[in-house]
Amino acid sequence: MINLELPKKLRASANQAHQVAQEIFRPISRKYDLAEHEYPVELDTMAAMVEGLADSGTQKIGGAAGGRSDDSDSDRHATELLGNTNGGNMSALLNALETSWGDVGLMLSIPYQGLGNAAIAAVATDEQLKRFGKVWASMAITEPSFGSDSAAVSTTAVLDGDEWVLNGEKIFVTAGQRSTHIVVWATVDKSLGRAAIKSFVVPRDAPGLSVARLEHKLGIKASDTAVLLLQDCRIPKDNILGSPEVNVEKGFAGVMQTFDNTRPLVAAMAIGVARAALEELRSILTGAGVEISYDTPANNQHAAAAEFLRMEADYEAAYLLALRAAWMADNKKPNSLEASMSKAKAGRTGTDVTLKAVELAGAIGYSQRTLLEKWGRDSKILDIFEGTQQIQQLIVARRILGKTSAELK
Q: Are strands 209-214 and 225-236 parallel, antiparallel or unpaired?
A: antiparallel
**How high is the pLDDT of residue 84?**
40
Closest CA to 265 of 174, 361, 130, 358: 174
**How high is the pLDDT of residue 394?**
95
Q: Who contacts 399 (Cβ-Cβ below 8 Å, separation ≥6)?
A: 336, 337, 340
**How high is the pLDDT of residue 76?**
30
Closest CA to 198 of 168, 162, 236, 153: 153
**How high is the pLDDT of residue 33?**
98
Give the other-Cβ count within 10 Å of 348's Cβ. 18
**How high is the pLDDT of residue 85?**
44
**How high is the pLDDT of residue 72?**
34
Helices (H) and strands (E) in the chain, counts: 14, 7
386 included as an active-site residue: yes
Choice among 127, 373, 386, 407 that is catalytic: 386
**How high is the pLDDT of residue 86?**
60
pLDDT by residue, tens only, the chain of 409 residues: 556 678 888 999 899 999 999 999 999 999 999 999 999 999 988 777 666 656 655 545 555 544 443 333 333 322 233 334 467 889 999 999 999 999 999 999 998 888 898 888 888 889 999 999 889 999 999 999 877 676 789 999 999 999 999 999 999 999 999 999 999 999 999 888 888 999 999 999 999 999 999 999 999 999 999 999 999 999 999 999 987 877 765 556 656 777 888 899 999 999 999 999 999 999 999 999 999 999 999 999 999 999 999 999 999 999 999 999 999 999 999 999 999 999 999 999 999 999 999 999 999 999 999 999 999 999 999 999 989 999 999 999 999 999 998 899 8
Instruction: Return the DSSP state at 354.
Output: H
Give the other-Cβ count within 10 Å of 38's Cβ. 12
pLDDT in tens, 255-282: 677 788 889 999 999 999 999 999 999 9
- Nearest 5°: phi and psi at 387? 105, 120
For 204-244, list the strands marked E by DSSP.
209-214, 225-236
Q: Who contacts 99 (Cβ-Cβ below 8 Å, separation ≥6)?
A: 17, 20, 21, 25, 61, 62, 63, 106, 107, 110, 272
Q: Are strands 181-187 and 137-140 parallel, antiparallel or unpaired?
A: parallel
- Distance in angstroms (rounded) separating the CA atoms of residues 52 and 33: 28
